[in-house]
Chains A and B, each alone.
Chain A
């Protein structure tokens, strides 16, 4: 990257009101640090407890999704597989709302499954989400990793907005999943 590109990357983030960004592998330590930094930031921004809690909750679920997703994929053996484990996290602060954006690689078949799930979640209203969450909570099994498949429903409930998402085709068997969660 040329030095001018460093500035253009900075400029983009500044113009997009990014207050925190991370690109790399989401580890348990990283997760703890990001949460801690965000809490301190929101304290100093004097956000209401309501919005603080919502942003924190959504961020926890998004980061833990990325963390478990990394654990799922194969051991890093090459530069390529290392990149496959990498993710992008951006936190944007607009005038009256926050946006949590994430990006990560995903297998094409898993992407199809996830897309169906997200479409389903977006088709539900507040009460529908509540009902779906309760049903899933009561019927779900916790996996070895401690995930219960409730993350996206919870994110949608806490956000109170439709989930924004896109799957970009990278290769025949890999997509890049972009998630956009608005919290107001």
Chain B
């Protein structure tokens, strides 16, 4: 299976999904007007990965901002990962110091999704 690599843009995050390492990285900002379009290939990739996932899968969420259009797509992505069989799935949720909003956003998903979340405070994302 191929890696999925997308460069960051002014409105979309950097994406590095690595099937060998079992790491799924989203980094930067996710504020597209229509997020469905952007998240479609990410969901498709996860469907492919589900057939033969690594022993461990870690989602690295390093988002600086995301809009409410993306928040729903991110939830759908987590729900897909929640259903993966044969792999330990966990989420590393990064937020910058004093960014209570991004910390709370992580807690929102934690309340809905049954995956282990690690909240990681960093100086700069």
Contact = CB atoms under 8 A, between A and B. Distances in A.
Interface of A: 28, 31-32, 35-36, 48-50, 53-54, 56-57, 60-61, 64, 67-68, 130, 133-134, 137-138, 140, 142, 144-148, 150-151, 154, 157-158
Contact of A28 (B33, B68, B100, B108): B33
Given A28-B33, A54-B101, A67-B33, A137 B11 contact: no
B101 A137 contact: no
Contacts, number: 78
Interface residues of B, number: 28
Given A57-B65, A61-B67, A140-B72, A130 B10 contact: no
Interface in B94-111: 96, 98-102, 104, 108, 111
Top 6 closest pairs, chain A to chain B, by CB = A146-B34, A150-B68, A148-B72, A146-B69, A142-B72, A154-B68
B10 A36 contact: yes
* Consensus secondary structure, chain A interface: helix
A60 B108 contact: no
B101 A53 contact: yes
A60 B31 contact: yes
B112 A64 contact: no
Contact of B10 (A32, A48, A53, A145): A32
B32 interface: yes
A34 B94 CA distance: 27
Nearest to A152: B68
A35 B31 CA distance: 11
Contacts of A158: 101
